[in-house]
Amino acid sequence: MFHNAALKRTALTPYDWGLVFAAMALLMIGMVMVYSASIAIAEARSLDGRQSFYLIRHAMWLVIGFGVGYAALQIPTQTWQTLAPLLFIAGAICLVLVLIPFIGKEVNGSRRWIPLGPLGNLQPSELMKFATILYAADYTVRKAAHMQNLTRGFLPMFLVMLGIGALLLLEPDFGAFVVIIAIALAILFLGGLNARLFAGLIGLLAIGFVLLVVLSPYRLARVTSYLNPWADPFGAGYQLSHALIAFGNGELTGVGLGDSVEKLFYLPEAYTDFLLAVIGEELGLVGVLTVIVLFAWLTWRAFSIGWQAGLMGRNYAALVAQGVGVWMGAQAFINMGVNLGLLPTKGLTLPLMSYGGSGIVANCLALAVLLRVDYENRCLMRGKKA
């Protein structure tokens, strides 16, 4: 009775406008804060001295993201399932291409981008997150009868993700590696993966992550600096110490929009990885809590939409929706944890908000597919064809 009543209530409108509002609010707040956080560096770097250099590029990618999202909204979920293997293979090819000299672009020792001329750079790992959701959901549905079996259910997907992980670590892009593995594992678990096998795998991954950190001097330095950034505030702890100073300056209501001091060449990556620190300084605890609530709502709605799809027997759609929730929730949690000093520094942007063309387009694409799942749910509740 409760399930039926809940389904009827959500079928009153064609779309989940609460979800749309939360996503649009994050996108718009992100655009304003990217502009604020990038004014000084844009004026310094841009050849013509335009303060709006990064704002214009960010807005351009938002328009592209909206266009791609609108097109994706018209595509039935069944078609996405059919395309899933091809999109996953295309994403893997792009991860290989980015490692090839004269094709991939190297920045600060990492080779993660493919130059696209006037449009900027394509970051294949962002699109790979979306492709992983589609492929892992398709794999789980196809192998549903074998999810309790190690060799037939889990091992093939494990080997595929091991290859993708190796390509990401070669860039290196440890942050994207963590998010993509989390997405794949979560979808497998939600799809019925053996609980003991899942627990054992988590243990093995924990050991693997520890080894990756211990055997890599720069990763080890990040962990030790995260534990005590003030021990080396001008070296390994520089980013985190200035992020914490920004939050401290902001206090409850912030110093005011546009009045951040840390964004004036003190806080590195202020308009990308550490955008939340600028929000904390300019909008205070109120601004940070607003962002957290919006992400929490978006993640909860993604899981709720997936749950509704599951009640209707739409297993693939259910896993895709929940995969989007895992992606947005996990990446936002990691980025916020890094900004607040709760997690070691990682090169991960804040979804929907940070500057970055590939990330914005991939996020809009994922949300459009989530809205399509919800739209099809509501059509079925009304007894109509989507």
Q: Does residue 285 surpass a pLDDT of 90?
A: yes
Query: What tens digit of pLDDT does each residue of 328-368 get?
Result: 999 999 999 999 988 887 778 999 999 988 999 999 999 99
The CA distance from 369 to 84, in Å, is 13
Token representation of residue 306: 């997936």
Domain spans of the chain? 2-381
Query: What tens digit of pLDDT does each residue of 98-137 get?
Result: 998 888 888 777 788 888 877 778 899 999 999 999 999 9
Structural element, H or E, at residue 121: strand 121-122
List, in sequence order, every residue forming a beta bridge with 110; answer none if it has no partner: 107
Query: 10: pLDDT confidence band, cut at 50, 70 and 90?
Result: very low
Residue 65 · residue 366 · CB < 8 Å: no
Q: Read out DSSP for 299-364?
A: HHHHHHHHHHHHHTT-HHHHHHHHHHHHHHHHHHHHHHHHHTTSS-------TTTSS-HHHHHHHH
- Give me the count of residues in the chain: 386
Report which of 280, 354, 366, 357 is spatially closest to residue 322, judged by C-alpha positions. Answer: 366
Q: Does residue 269 surpass a pLDDT of 90?
A: no
The CA distance from 58 to 353, in Å, is 10
Q: DSSP letter for 229, please.
A: G
Q: Is 384 left (phi over 0), alpha (psi -120 to 50) or beta?
A: beta
Residue 17 · residue 246 · CB < 8 Å: no
Residue with the two structure tokens 């709502």:
297
**Burial bucket for residue 205 (CB in 10 Å: 0-12, 13-18, 19+):** middle
List, in sequence order, every residue forming a beta bridge with 105; answer none if it has no partner: 113
Where do runs of H (alpha helix) occur along 194-314? 195-214, 217-227, 238-250, 275-311
The CA distance from 320 to 141, in Å, is 11
Neighbours of 30 (CB within 10 A): 25
pLDDT of residue 23: 96
pLDDT of residue 1: 44
Token representation of residue 294: 């919006």
Query: What tens digit of pLDDT does each residue of 187-239 get?
Result: 988 988 777 777 777 777 778 777 777 777 766 666 666 677 777 777 777 88
Q: DSSP letter for 248, please.
A: H
Tell me the mean pLDDT in the region 66-82.
Answer: 96
Average pLDDT, the chain: 87
Of 6-15, 181-190, 208-217, give the range with the top mean pLDDT. Answer: 181-190
Residue 272 · residue 349 · CB < 8 Å: yes
Token representation of residue 289: 């809590």
Residue 340 · residue 346 · CB < 8 Å: no
3-state secondary structure of 2: helix
pLDDT of residue 239: 87
